[in-house]
Amino acid sequence: AQSVTQLDSHVSVSEGTPVLLRCNYSSSYSPSLFWYVQHPNKGLQLLLKYTSAATLVKGINGFEAEFKKSETSFHLTKPSAHMSDAAEYFCVITKGGSNYKLTFGKGTLLTVNP
Amino acid sequence: DADVTQTPRNRITKTGKRIMLECSQTKGHDRMYWYRQDPGLGLQLIYYSFDVKDINKGEISDGYSVSRQAQAKFSLSLESAIPNQTALYFCATSDFRAGGSGELFFGEGSRLTVL
């Protein structure tokens, strides 16, 4: 069975400093991996996705993630945090080609301090 | 207007009452989903539908039922609500024609409280 583990339930950074949100995955198949963001009182929005093309994936709002098969990781990064980045972030895995069987991580709450 | 609209956005009800949450979409997508979000647990799939005649149970379907009235409408019902169904519920859509990319488009959620 496929699964994702978000290693931190809460990450706190200062504005202007780098962001690192960690996600490890487990899958018997070639996975597709995603990061979604949820701002307060909003639905989830896709940040970026990996679907077996380039291992370094760029998303919206300056975020990027690198698929590392040897480390079974898909960590989300951003060079410089903005106050507007404060939100909850979800790492998501799906079996390749089966986009209805998504498995969500438990989420990482990102706090950005002024 | 939002592409995926959920009603109601907030609802407080009592144990044993029947509740319906409604979802409509203007994206023209064939696939629709209902998820439940609990703090610290991520999202769990309740039901999903590939088209009007194709409805499938997800991970946590017990105590829930759904109806796909049209391609654009997908309703979730709690026949007899209980307190542990207190949660935030999300409707989502996806487009099969996107080739299985996995991108879901979410509504803004329906917060249900069962007393």
Q: What is the pLDDT of residue B102?
A: 65
- Return the pLDDT at B82: 96
pLDDT in tens, B8-22: 999 999 999 999 999
Contact B102 A32 (CB under 8 A): yes
Name the residue facing B43 among A41, A49, A104 (closest C-beta).
A104
CB pair distance less than 8 Å for A46 and B104: yes
CB A112 within 8 A of CB A11: no
Q: Which two tokens stand for residue A17?
A: 């400093």
Helix (H, G, I), strand (E, B) or coil at B84: helix
Given a cut of 80, is residue A1 above it in pLDDT?
Answer: no
Confidence label for B95 from pLDDT (cuts 50, 70 and 90):
confident
d(CA B2, CA B24) in angstroms, rounded, equals: 10
pLDDT at residue number B98: 57
Please report which confidence band the pLDDT of residue B4 belongs to, taking 50, 70 and 90 as the band edges: very high
- Strand residue runs (E) in chain B: 4-7, 10-13, 19-25, 31-38, 42-51, 54-57, 65-70, 73-78, 87-94, 105-106, 110-114
Name the minimum distance, in Å, from the CA of B102 to any CA of chain A: 4
Q: Which of A96-100, B28-32, B65-69 has the highest mean pLDDT?
A: B65-69
For residues A96 and A25, is the Cβ–Cβ distance under 8 A?
Answer: no
Search chain B and give the residue with CA nearest A89. Answer: B42
Mutate to test the interface with B, among A34, A48, A100, A104 (most CBs of B within 10 A): A100
pLDDT-derived band of residue A106, with 50, 70 and 90 as boundaries? very high
